[in-house]
Chains A and B, each alone.
Chain A
Amino acid sequence: MSVADVPAKAIEGRSPGRIAWMRLKRDKVALTGGVVVIFLILVAVFAPQIVSLLGHPPNEFHEDLIDPDLGTPIGSFGGVSSDFLLGVEPTNGRDVFSRILYGARISLIVAFLAAFVSVVIGSLLGALAGFLGGWVDGVISRLMDLLLAFPQLLFTIALVSVVPNSLMGLEGSSVRMAVLILVIGFFGWPYIGRIVRGQTMSLREREYVEAARSLGAGRGYILIKELLPNLVAPILVYSTLIIPTNILTEAALSFLGAGVKPPTASWGKMLSDAIPIYQDDPMYMVVPGITIFITVLAFNLFGDGLRDALDPKGS
């Protein structure tokens, strides 16, 4: 059979990535999670525009909407109205809707960048440990054990309280955010590092690696061209699963007062502000609570679906 007598259109193979995408499209739950995730990202990105249309600036006080005796919002459900979609904050009367939107920015920026830090350090060190083995593996593995045993929360709280207000050209909340990103990211890398290390160790023994060596491939070629394409899937899956964890960690730290500085809006801070007043104004606690819940759930569902789609043993 010569090349001439087949149709001009070349036969295209279905790449593993395309197959995963087709599987993902069939998974309605994961797709819903994905849509919510994209929606949240868009909301966070366009928060100023949305707020200018539907709300009030996040730090604008509306004391006229607060019952001066009780300190709770006037009106039912925490002062929900067409003007204040999710009600107003007790005491100061700030717009909860716009504070949730601006809080999403903080949450997502911290979660994504911290995940990025974890993934970069974890993939690099994990792949090196798994690929090189020997003492390199020993050192990196012990380091991971050490970090996993570290009291991360206490360390972060202690660190945040001693960080100065301005650091390396950043100021106020930006310093806190940078610290949060680095600390959460740094304590998160051993989780992904272990996964990548294990994967690399098992991939290293595959026959196609031997085949590459028998063709004269060096270590760099094997690591980058043969192993890395096979590590992309687990890294991607783990990234989508580490993001909701980071959102929770950020919320927890803000709740404990180690998050961004007021008046910057943050979900965890809103929750902790709601504690003393929850009997009189439960709405103020419910709104950030449900927001965190939906966000984390959406990321987790999407991550699980992605894992199923990328799993070569799946149907």
Chain B
Amino acid sequence: MNETGAQTGAPRAAEASGASAAEEPLLKVTGLVKHFPINKGLLRRQSGAVKAVDGIDFDVRRGETLGIVGESGCGKSTMGRLITRLLEPSSGKVEFEGKDITHLGVAGMRPLRRDVQMIFQDPYGSLNPRHTVGTIVGAPFKLQKVTPEGGVKAEVQRLLSLVGLNPEHYNRYPHEFSGGQRQRIGIARALALKPKLVVADEPVSALDVSIQAQVVNLLDDLQEELGLTYVIIAHDLSVIRHVSDRIAVMYLGKIVELADRKSLYEAPMHPYTTALMSAVPVPDPRRRGAKSGRILLKGDVPSPISPPSGCRFHTRCWKATELCTTQEPPLVALKTGHQVACHHPENAPDQAPGDKALPGAAEAVETPTL
């Protein structure tokens, strides 16, 4: 374990040298926007845009785990690819350790790639089937032209044992491993360059439930051991609850709620969060009846090509009023460490009392008959 000590030594020394820097967030995102243009016709004229991420702000503090939740298509993966700069933001600003990385090119980003790493969703798609595990985990050293102490092979084997794989499997190919083991290979690759920030895009959603716990716990252990900061993107609320310190809830390209884990799970403020929470299955048939607060949202998420006016959730919200259709609620802190973007939050004072309810809003949800 001596090597691990040496590894964490460097970032810690850096933190100690600037005490004020400890207050500065590791990653700061302001007004981040990503629109994917839709081109139509012979002249490829732009006829619209998919507003995947439409103005989001958040900070990631050193050493914390920020969970991002939301249903499919809400822009959480796009957001992850924007902060790792696999995609170019349309506008807004991404700062890493105070450095603006919003529009850095491939060459400009290269030194920063060491500090920001990514774990991918699909353990089958994220490893090149024609490369051995040794090549895959050793690729970061080759690309960054770093020679670790003791050589690449020794370092790769150390990383493999760090993530709980047999270092002797260095020469094997990805298809010889199970899904969980493949995800461990992906994690080993992400950790090779001793990053400061790891963005994990649905790291366990493609795995068996029994394997999910192993991988989640591995991520937890590694965070403690290596002092990592995580941004974990997932749609599984129980996974997010297990790993996160703070949680951001996304809906149609916006953050609708951002709060500490405890605060969010005990007293969610945004109606969308409330609905999401109520959808978490209770793994106990005897308690199922007691938990009758299941909120079933009707319909689908509106198209991100033309999102609803005002509050984007108003088309499916049972608390929607006329104000919600016209004015977009800002993301404000209604409690310490609890930000929400809603005119009529739950578990908090109403921000726009007395507004006329939207006709049909009450029918926006249905109570399950079971």
Tell me the A residues contacting B by CB distance below 8 Å.
1, 3, 6, 10-16, 206-208, 210-218, 221, 226, 229-230, 312
Contacts and interface: CB of A to CB of B under 8 A. Distances in A.
Interface residues of B, number: 41
Contact of B86 (A3, A6, A214, A230): A214
Interface in B94-124: 106, 109-110, 113, 116-118, 120-122
B67 interface: no
Contacts of B217: none
Given A16-B130, A208-B127, A229-B131, 9 more contacts: A3-B157, A3-B168, A11-B170, A14-B176, A16-B173, A210-B120, A216-B110, A216-B143, A221-B143
Given A3-B167, A214-B118, A312-B129, A13 B173 contact: yes
A6 B168 contact: yes
Contact of A12 (B113, B131, B143, B171): B171
Contacts of B166: 1, 11
A312 B124 CA distance: 13
Nearest to B112: A216
Nearest to B177: A13
Given A3-B157, A6-B168, A214-B113, A207 B143 contact: no
Contacts of B168: 3, 6, 10-11
B186 A211 contact: yes
Nearest to A6: B168
Interface string B128-140: 1111110000011
Nearest to B144: A216
B128 A13 contact: no
A90 B120 CA distance: 71
Contacts of A16: 129-130, 173, 175
Given A212-B143, A216-B109, A216-B110, A13 B169 contact: yes
B192 to A, nearest CB: 8
A220 to B, nearest CB: 11
Among A210, A215, A218, max chain B CB count under 10 A is at A215
A215 B144 contact: yes
A301 B230 CA distance: 53
B172 A13 contact: yes
Interface in B166-204: 166-173, 175-176, 186, 189, 193
Contacts of B127: 208, 211
A211 B129 contact: no
Interface of B: 81, 84, 86, 106, 109-110, 113, 116-118, 120-122, 125-133, 139-140, 143-144, 157, 161, 166-173, 175-176, 186, 189, 193
Nearest to B139: A215
B121 A218 contact: no
Contacts of A216: 106, 109-110, 113, 143-144
B121 A207 contact: yes
B131 to A, nearest CB: 7
Contacts of A312: 129, 175
A15 B129 CA distance: 9
Contacts of B130: 15-16, 229-230
A208 B125 contact: yes
Contacts of B144: 215-216
Given A13-B176, A229-B131, A217 B169 contact: no
21 contacts: A1-B161, A3-B167, A10-B168, A10-B171, A11-B171, A11-B172, A13-B172, A13-B176, A206-B128, A207-B125, A211-B120, A211-B186, A213-B86, A214-B86, A214-B117, A215-B113, A215-B144, A216-B109, A217-B139, A229-B130, A230-B128
